[in-house]
Structure 1
Amino acid sequence: MADVNLSEAEKTFILHSVQDNFRDDGRSCEDFRHMEIETGLISNTNGSARVRLASTDVLVGVKVQLSPVDPENPEVGRMEFFLDCSANATPEFEGRGGEELASEITALLTRAYGCPSTMDYPSLCVLPGQQCWLLYVDILLLECGGNLFDAMSLAVKAALFNTKVPNVTMTKDEGGIELDVSDDPYDFKRLDVTGAPLVVTVNKIGHFHVVDASEKEEACSLARIMLGVTQTGTITAMKKEGSGSLDADSISDMMESAKKVGVLLNKSLLKALGEEEEQGTEAVGFLR
C-alpha cells in the first residue's frame, strides 16, 4: 500500500469521488491513466521495453540463453523473473528495502505466466529432453508512483513482444547432436504473446473499487486484489493484500471488473505494439 499522508478531508473527498464514479483526475472507476511505452531500448538484450504510467517508470530487458530442460517438464522452455528496485525510485528501497516487494512481484508474475496457455513454451524447447531456451526477464523499477504490479506486467509483455529468439540448427556427429545458434541479427523467431497475461490491480475504497489507483487512492484503500488476466478473460493468478477484509460479493465484483479491464487492456496493448512495429517507431502512447 502507498505510504502517503492524507488529511481526513482529502480521504473523504476521494471516497466520495469514487462513490460517484468520477475520480479526482476525471477518470471513471474502470479507467486507466494514459501511459507511454517504448521498445527496443537496450542493445545487449534480445528484447526490451520501458513503461511510464503516471510517475511510475519501469524498464524491462529479456535475454535468452540455451539451458538444460527442467526434468519435470523436459519438452518446454522456461522463464525466470528478476526485479531490482532502484534506490533512486524511493528512499525506502535503500539497502535491502526493496527485496520484499521484489519477491512479491516476481512471485505473482511467475504464477501468472506459469499457466501453459499463456506462452507457447513447447516452441522454446530446442532439443526435447536436453536443451531449451531460458528467458531471463530482468525488471528495473526506476521510479515508484503507484500501481507497480500493473505497470511491470505491461512492460514485461511489451518486452516479450519485442524479443527476438535466434534460430538454431542441429547437426549430428559421432559425439551426438551439436547445436549452432545463429549470430545473424535477421535470423530469428518471435514469441507469440497473444495469451500472455497482464496484472490488473483492483483497490477497494469504501464500498466501491477502482483500477489503476493513484498513490492517494492507494492510501485510502484497506484491501486490494491483483489478478493476472489474459486477452480472453482467463485469470491465471490472484493475490490479495491489505488489512481490510473482502466479502464474497466484493471479490466477485472486483474479479469481474479486473476481467473486463484486463481484456480491453491486453487488446489495446497488442494493437499499439503492432502499429508501432509497422510504422518502425520505438515509442507509443495509448489509452485503454
Structure 2
Amino acid sequence: MASVALSEAEKVYIMHGVQEDLRVDGRGCEDYRCVEVETDVVSNTSGSARVKLGHTDILVGVKAEMGMPKLEKPNEGYLEFFVDCSANATPEFEGRGGDDLGTEIANTLYRIFNNKSSVDLKTLCISAREHCWVLYVDVLVINGNFNCASVSRIPRVRVLEDEEGSKDIELSDDPYDCIRLSVENVPCIVTLCKIGYRHVVDATLQEEACSLASLLVSVTSKGVVTCLRKVGKGSLDPESIFEMMETSKRVGKVLHASLQSILHKEESLGPRRQKVGFLG
C-alpha cells in the first residue's frame, strides 16, 4: 500500500469526493490518467515495452529461446516470468521487500496466464515432445505498481526430417522473417481501490493511502475475468467484489481497445512512441 502520510481532514476530503464521483484531480471513479506506451525499447529482446502511468513506470522485455515441452503439455510452449523491483524507486523495494514483491507479482502473472484463452501456447510448439519456444518475460518495476503488457516476435522455424527419421531444426536468419504473437486475448490487469463505499481505478498515492483493500482483476478484451487477487489488510464484502468485477469488465474493454489501437498503428507506421488517454 502507499506510504504517503495524510491528515484525517485530507482523507475525509478525498473520500467525500469519491462518493460524489469527483476525484481530486477531476477524474471520475472509472477514469484513467494519460498512459504513455513505448514499444521496442530494448534491442536484444524478441519484444519489449515501457509503460508510464502516473507514478508507475514499468519496463518489460521478452526473450524467445528454444526448449523442451513440459511432460504434461507436450504440444505447447510455455512462459517464464521474472520480476525485479528497482531499489531506486522506493525504500520499500530494498532488500527482501523488493524480492518478496517481485515473487508475488510473478506468481500473479503465472495465475493470469495459466489458461488457454490468454496466449495460444500451441503456436509455440516446434516439434511435439521435442522442441518448443520458451518465452522468458523479464519485468522491471522502475516505480509504482505493476500493470503492463508486451508483444513478442518469434523467428520462423522449419523442421527438416531425413530418411532415417532424425529431425533437424532450421532457424531463419532474416530478422524480418518472424511470427508476431497475437495479444488480442491477453488479459489486462485492472486495479480497483475501495475507498469508503465506492471504488476507483488508477488510484493516486493519496487515494491509495485512503484505501485499506484493493482488488486486482485480469480481464480479456471480451470482458472475461481470468483472475482475481485481493491486496491489503482490509476486507471486501461480496457485494463490493461483484461491483468491482463489473467495473473491471467495463474499464478493461476500453483499455483493450486503446492498446490494440496503438499496436495496430505501430504495425502500419513502424515502432514509435505513442501517448494515449484511456477514458472509463
Global fold match (TM > 0.5): yes
How far 1:143 sits from its partner (Å)?
Answer: 2.1
Contact map agreement 2:215 2:231 (CA 8 A) in 1: yes
- 2:159 paired with 1:170: yes
Q: What secondary structure is seen at the aligned counterpart in 2 of 1:194?
A: coil
Q: Which residue of 2 aligns with 1:11?
A: 11
Work out which of the residue numbers 230, 235, 246 in structure 2 matches 1:245. 235
Q: Displacement, 1:281?
A: 4.1
Counterpart secondary structure, 2:234: coil
State which of 257, 260, 269 in structure 2 corresponds to 1:267. 257
Tell me which amino acid in the other structure corresponds to 1:287.
G
Within a 5 Å distance, the mapping from 1:129-168 to structure 2 comes to 129-144=129-144, 148-150=145-147, 154=148, 156=149, 159-160=150-151, 163-168=152-157
Query: What is the CA deviation profile of residues 241-281 of structure 1, one whole-angstrom value per residue up to 9, with x for unaligned ones?
Result: 22222111111101100111011101111111211331224
Are the aligned partners of 2:56 and 2:146 in contact in 1 as well (CA < 8 Å)? no
Over 4 Å off, 4+ runs: none
CA apart distance, 1:58: 0.8
Tell me if the contact between 1:149 and 1:201 (Cα under 8 Å) persists in the aligned partners. Answer: no
CA distance in 1, matches of 2:80, 2:272: 25
1:52-91 mapped onto 2 (5 Å cutoff): 52-91=52-91
- Candidates 191, 208, 214, aligned match of 1:201: 191
Q: Percent identity?
A: 49
Distance 1:2 1:282 in 2: 33
Does 187-196 or 85-94 show the bigger shift?
Answer: 85-94
Q: Equivalents in 2 of 1:122, 1:280: separation in Å? A: 28
Question: What's the CA shift for 1:91?
Answer: 2.0
Distance 1:179 1:97 in 2: 43
Q: Which amino acid aligns with 1:51?
A: V
Cα separation, 1, equivalents of 2:177 and 2:69: 23
Deviation string 1:195-229 (CA, Å, 9 cap, x unpaired) is: 00011011100011001111111111011110110
In structure 2, the gaps of 5 or more residues are none
8 Å contact from structure 2 (residues 126, 159) kept in 1: no
Specify the code of the residue in structure 2 equivalent to 1:168.
V
Correspondence for 1:183: 173
For residues 83 and 39 of structure 2, the distance between their equivalents in structure 1, rounded to whole angstroms, comes to 18
For residues 182 and 271 of structure 2, the distance between their equivalents in structure 1, rounded to whole angstroms, comes to: 20
Deviation at 1:133, TM superposition (A): 0.6
The alpha-carbon deviation at position 100 of structure 1 amounts to 1.4
| 1:38-95 C-alpha deviation (Å, 9 max, x unpaired) | 1011110000000111121111100001100010011111011111111111122222
Amino acid at match of 1:94: E
SS at match of 1:44: coil
* Structure 2 partner of 1:226: 216
1-structure distance, mates of 2:276, 2:111: 27
TM-score by length of 2: 0.96
- SS of the equivalent of 1:149 reads coil
- C-alpha distance in 2 between matches for 1:2 and 1:76: 40
Q: Distance in 2 between matches of 1:139 and 1:132?
A: 22
Amino acid across the alignment from 2:156: N
Q: 2:270 aligns with which of 259, 273, 280?
A: 280
Structure 2 counterpart of 1:39, one-letter code: T
Report deviation, 1:149: 2.9
Instruction: Report the TM-score when normalising by structure 1.
Output: 0.93
Q: Tell me if structure 1 keeps the 8 A contact 2:37–2:274.
A: yes
Question: Which consecutive residues of structure 1, in runs of 5 or more, have no partner in the other structure?
Answer: none
CA distance in 1, matches of 2:235, 2:83: 29
Cα-to-partner distance string for 1:109-153 (whole Å, 9 max, x where unaligned): 111111101111111111012111100000011123xxx132xxx
